[in-house]
Structure 1
Amino acid sequence: MQEAYDIQHLCTRKEDKSFDRKSARKEPKEILRHLIGFANADGGLLVIGIEDNGEITGFNYQKAHQPEEFIHALHNLQKMPIPVTYQQIEVVNSRGLADFVLLFEVTASSGRAITSHDDRVFLRSKDQTLELNFEQRLQLEYEKGQRAFEEQPIARADFTDLDMDLLEQYRQKLHTDRSIEEILKARDLINKEGQITNACILLFGNNPTRYFPNARLRFLRYEGKAPLTGRTFNVVKEFMLEEPIPKLLESAKAVLKSQLREFQRLDENGQFTKIDEYPEFAWLEGIVNAIAHRSYSNQGDCIRISMFDDRLEIFSPGGLPRPVTLENMYYTRFSRNPKIARVLYEFGWVKELNEGVNRMAEEMNAYQLNTPSYFEPNENAVRLILENNIEHRTLRALERIEEIFTQDIMATLNKNEVTILQYLYENEMITVKIASEILDRSKELSRRILKSLEQKNILTWHGLSPKDPTQYYTLKK
C-alpha cells in the first residue's frame, strides 16, 4: 500500500538528506544521480514536478518531460537496480490547471553501493547529492559491507611489524598450544596467502600509526565547560596515545583514572565515603566501544576524549554502522569490526553487544547521574556524553557549609575562602599546592588564605613544622 502524502507539506518541507524536489524540466538521466544518492545513504523521497522554491509546476506544460521518461530512466540501472517505488499524485498546478507530480520513494541499499551505468557513485549528504571520489567510494563500500576493511591485506607489512610479546599474551589468553601464525590464520588476521591484514596491524602492530596515521587516541582535559582558544586557551592536560589496540585500551584506562576526581558523600551510617566522579564501567565501556567500533577506514580523524568540569565526551570517527541508529542502539546487535571485537572479547575488554551499552545506563543511574547521551554531530562521527553532577554537588556543599557555620561567620568569608570550604566538604584534606590549583592563585597567597581560615577557627592545621612537606588542613571538628 502506497503512502498518502500531503501536497502542501511536499511544497514547504525543507530539502535535506532524505528529501528533494526537482522540476519536470530536468533531464531524466540527471534524476538518477539523486536516486542513487538516496539509495547509498539512508533512503529518501524525490518529488518531480515541484520547483526548489515550492511552486507546483507539474507536468502539464510544453518544456516538461513526461513521467514515463523518468521511470524509463531506471532501466539504465538494470545491472544494479535501485530499491525504489513510484506513484503519481493529482494536484492543481500554479497556473490553476489540473496536473500531477511524480514521487520516487527510495529505500537504502543493503550490502552494496549502487553505481550508475557509467560506473559513478553518488551519495546524499545534507541537501546535496555528491559524486564520490575513489577513497570516498571505498569508504562507502566498507560501510555497506560490500568490502571488509578488516580483511584487506597490507602489501608492505610482514611479521617484523608485529608485537610478538603482545601476541604471546593473546595466545595465553586463549589457553592454546597453537603457534602464533596458526592463531592469526584462524582469526582471519592473516589471509590464505600469508598477508597481514588491516585488523592484524591495528590489534598487534608494533606501530599501527605507520599504516594508519589516525589510529590514535587523544585525551584533552579542559578547565571549564567549553573549549577556548587564543589567550583564553584552557587545555590543562593533553595525552596522545599511539599503540596496538589492547595496549591502547590499557593506557587510555590509566590516563582517565589519573584525571578523574573523587568526591565524598554521607552513607547510611552518617560516615563520609569516597565516590568516583563517574562509575568506572560507564567511562571505560565508552572508551572500549569507541576503539572497537570506530571506522578505521575513515582516516581523517582520531578518537578524542574531552574532559570538562561538568562532563566527559568521547568522540569516535565513523557514524553508527547500519542498521544501528540512535533510536535502536540499546537492542540492535551489529559490529562494524567483528574481527577486532572478537579479539578484544577474548582479551576480556568487549562485552556481548548491547550488554555494555545497557549496563552503562544502569551504572550512571545508580550514581544518580543522567543516562549516557549519544549524538551524531555529523554523518561521519559518534559522540558519547557522560554528565557528572558537579553543579549539584557544589550547591549541596554550599548549603551544607551554611548549615555548619553561622551567618555571622559566613559573612566574614571571601570568595576564595568559600571555595576552599566547598572543596573540603567533598574532600578530607587540602594542601597549599591543591589550594593554589583550585584557586588559580600563587602558593604564597593560598597559604595566607588557609592560615586565615585556621585563625577563624574553621580549619585545623596538621604538620610537624611550618616547613613540613606533608602538612595539610582539614575542617575543624
Structure 2
Amino acid sequence: MVMTQSEFSERFPAESDLVEFKQGVPPEKVAEAVTAFSNTDGGVVLLGVDNGGRAVGITTDGEQQAKTHRAVAQVHNPGRYELHELLVGERGVLVLAVNRRREGFAQMRDGRILVRRGAMNTALIGDELMRFVTARSLTRYESTPTKAALTMADPELLERLRSTYGWSADGIEDRLVETGFVERTSDGPMLTVAGVLYLLPRPADILGKAYVEIFRYRDETEVYDRRFDIDGPVNDQVERTTQALMDDLGSDVVVIGLHRHELPRIPEPVLREAVANAVAHRTYENARQPVRVELRPDRVVITSPGGLPEPITLENIRQQNAARNIDVIKALRRFRLAEDAGLGVDVMQDTMEAALLEPPEFDADGAHVGVVLRLGSTVTPQERAWIAEVERRGEIKAHDKLLLLHAARGELLTNTSVRELLGVDSTHARAALQRLRNLGYLQQSGERGGASYTLAKELGPPAGLQLAGDELEALVLTLASKGRVTNEQVRGRTGLERNQVLGLLSRLVESGRLEKHGERRGTYYTLADGRLGV
C-alpha cells in the first residue's frame, strides 16, 4: 500500500487508544504495545514513525519482519496479529496490526498485564487487576471434568501413561491431577476431557466424535471407495492413522546402479506431525465432527474442527505457536508423537523441502483448520533418487539440491539465475555456487561477473538427464528431420518427464527451430522450414 505523507498524517494524526508510533523496533516497547492492544480493543503499531507522527522510514525486509515477530513472541498469549508493509512517500513503514484477544488475556514475560488508555500502555494493579483477571479468566475445555470417574480408566492405559511420564507407582492420583488428567470433585476424582482422551479405550463414548475419519477417493468427485474410522486413545489415533496413510500412499521405488531407493510419497514425519496437530489442537467442544482425512489422487487433506488458536494466523503460523489443548499436546510429546513447542510447522515444511516435495498448504476459517499435502512435485522420483545418491558423497544443504537439479537438467547456472531460483542476494548466490564447485559437484567457466557453472561430468546425472541442454535440443531436431515428433516420442528417447519435454519443445518453437501443429493429444512438431516431417 502507498500513501503520501499528508495522507498518512491525516489517517494517523497522533498516538491514541488504537495507534502507537515507534521509530525502530525496540523489542520491549513493541511487546508492551502488543500486550496492551491485545487486552483492550486492538490497535496498530507503526514502525518507522517518529513521536511526532512523521514517517522516517525503516527497512521492511525479511530480517526486520523476523525481528518484529520475535518481539511479539516475548508476549504471553497475545491477540492475533498481522504484519504489513506501507510506503509513505519513499519511506518504508511496517504496520503491526493487533486484534483484541477474545479468550483469556495477554501478559508480559515479567508478569505485567497491560491495557491501553489513551496513548499509554498501563499496568493493572490491586483490585483493578483482580477484576480484570476474574472477568477474562478462561478454563480450558480439556480441563473440564467429565462424567467418567477415575475408576473407569483402563488399567493398561493408565500403566502406559505412568511409564511414559516416569511416575512411581505411588501417588498416581496426585500425578494425574497435577498433569490435568483428573480433577477432584464432590463426586470423587473424575477424568477430565484430556484424561478421557488418554485413559479410556473409546473416548468417543464420552466425548462424541473424538476420532479420525478417513475417506479415500479415486477421482475428484465426492464418491469415495473406502471409508474407515480410527478411534482409541489419541496417541493410538496418531500412530495408527499415520501408519494407515503410509500403507495406502506407498513409496516410489527407483533403482540407480546397485542401490534401490524407496522414496515415500509423503515423508512419515510430515504425516505424523500433521495428524498430531489435528487431534491435539482441535476443539473437543464440537462433539459432532471428527478429524477428517481425505486421500485424493494428487493430495492428502487433513481437516480438524476449530479455528486457529490465538495468536496464530496463516501468515505467522511458522513464527508463532499456541496450543488449544496444552495437556493433550504435552502428553503426545511425552509419547514422542509430536514435535517440541513451535517446531511442528517448521519440521513439516523443512522435511518436505528436503525431500524435494511441494510445501504444506495451510487453510483456516473460524470453524476448521486444514493442511494439504501434495503428492508428487516438479521433481521426478528418478531425480529425487539421484539426489539421494549425491548425498551419499557428503552432506549438502536443502537449496544445494535445487541447484544441482537445474544443473543436471542441462541448465547453465550463473549468479543471476541462482538469485532468482533461491531468492537470495548476490553474495549468498556466489557462496552457494563456489561451495558446490569446491565440493566437485559443479565446474566453473569464466571469471568474476562472467562466471557460469555446469554439472561436473564426474557426478553423473540420472538416466535421461545425461545430455546437456544443447545436446537434448540437437537430439529432438534430429528426430524432427526424420518425421513428425511428439511429446511421447521424446520421452521415450530421453527418459524425461512430460513437463520437461514440453519445456524443451517450447524452447525450440520459441527459437524458431520447430513448428507446433494441432492441440492437446493431437499435438506434434516439425522442423520450422516445413520441408520435412509433414
Q: TM-score, normalising length from structure 1?
A: 0.52
Residue from 195, 198, 208 that aligns with 1:213: 208
In structure 2, give the amino acid aligned to 1:386.
L
Which of 371, 384, 399 aligns to 1:384? It is 371
* Cα separation, 1, equivalents of 2:381 and 2:345: 29
Q: How does 1:341-420 map to 2 (within 5 A)?
A: 341-376=329-364, 378-389=365-376, 393=380
Q: In the alignment, which residue of structure 2 is the partner of 1:149?
A: 141
Tell whether 2:299 aligns with 1:311: yes
Match of 2:233 in 1: 244
Query: Which residue of the partner structure matches residue 249 of structure 2?
Result: 260
Distance in 1 (alpha carbons) for counterparts of 2:314 and 2:41: 14
1:28-68, CA deviations, whole angstroms, 9 ceiling, x for partnerless residues? Answer: xxxxxxxxxxx9999699xxxxxxxxxxxxxxxxxxxxxxx
Residues 214 and 176 of structure 1: is their aligned pair in 2 closer, same or farther, counting only changes over 3 Å?
same
Q: C-alpha distance in 2, partners of 1:41/1:206?
A: 44
Give the Cα separation in 2 of the matches to 1:41 and 1:287: 35
* 8 Å CA contact 2:280, 2:328 repeated in 1: yes
Amino acid at match of 1:198: V
SS state at 2:321 partner? coil
* Counterpart pick for 1:163 among 154, 165, 170: 154
Distance in 1, Cα, partners of 2:253 & 2:139: 51
Residue from 331, 348, 361 that aligns with 2:319: 331
Match of 2:218 in 1: 223
Instruction: Give the whole-Å Cα distance in 2 for the aligned partners of 1:350 and 1:253.
Output: 12
Tell me the percent identity. 24
1:241-298 Cα offsets, whole Å, 9 max, x none, are 121112212221221121012113355x574422110111111110111111111112
SS at match of 2:283: coil
Q: What CA deviation, in whole Å up to 9, does each residue of 1:352-408 have, x standing for no partner?
A: 1121210111110111112111111x31111111112167649999x969x9xxx9x
* Mapped contact 1:361–1:371 kept (Cα < 8 A): yes
Structure 2, unmatched stretches of 5+, are 1-6, 12-37, 45-78, 80-96, 106-135, 385-462, 466-471, 473-478, 496-534
Corresponding residue SS for 2:182: coil
- Cα–Cα, structure 1 residues 4 and 379, in superposed 2: closer, same or farther, change >3 Å? farther
What SS does the corresponding residue of 1:286 show, helix, strand or coil? helix
Contact 2:281 2:325 in 1 (8 A): yes
TM-score under structure 2 normalisation? 0.47
Query: What corresponds to 1:190 in structure 2?
Result: 182
Mapped partners of 2:378, 2:274: distance in 1: 23
The answer to whether the Cα contact below 8 Å between 2:360 and 2:372 also exists between their aligned partners in 1 is yes
Output the CA distance in 2 between the equivalents of 1:157 and 1:145.
25
Q: CA RMSD in A?
A: 4.5
Q: Which amino acid aligns with 1:181?
A: E
> Which 5+ residue runs of structure 1 have no aligned equivalent?
7-38, 46-82, 84-104, 114-143, 423-477
Alpha-carbon separation, structure 2, partners of 1:263 and 1:221: 19
Cα distance per residue 1:79-98 (max 9 Å; x no partner): xxxx9xxxxxxxxxxxxxxx
Cα offset for 1:198? 1.2
CA contact (8 A) 1:310 1:390 kept: no
Counterpart residue identity of residue 172, structure 1: S
Counterpart CA distance in 2 for 1:3 and 1:270 is: 66
In 2: Cα distance, 1:294 partner to 1:5 partner: 43
Task: Provide the secondary structure at the position in 2 that maps to 1:195.
Answer: strand
Which one-letter code corresponds to 1:246 in the other structure?
A: N
CA 1:4–1:394 in structure 2 vs 1: closer, same or farther (change >3 Å)?
A: same
The C-alpha deviation readout for 1:129-180, integer Å capped at 9, x for no partner, is xxxxxxxxxxxxxxx86221011111x3113432220111121122332343
SS of the residue 2:362 aligns to: strand
SS at match of 1:243: coil
Conserved 8 A contact 2:263-2:381: no
Shift of 1:338: 0.6
SS across alignment from 1:335:
coil
Whether the 8 Å CA contact 1:265–1:272 is kept in 2: the answer is yes
Contact 1:375/1:382, CA 8 A, preserved across alignment: yes
Q: Per-residue deviation at 1:188?
A: 2.2
Paired with 1:395 and 1:346, the residues of 2 have a C-alpha distance of 38
Code of the aligned partner of 1:387: R
Q: Is the 8 A contact 2:239 2:272 kept in 1?
A: no
Contact 1:161–1:206, Cα closer than 8 Å, also in 2 = no
**Partner of residue 299 from structure 1, selected from 287, 291, 310:** 287
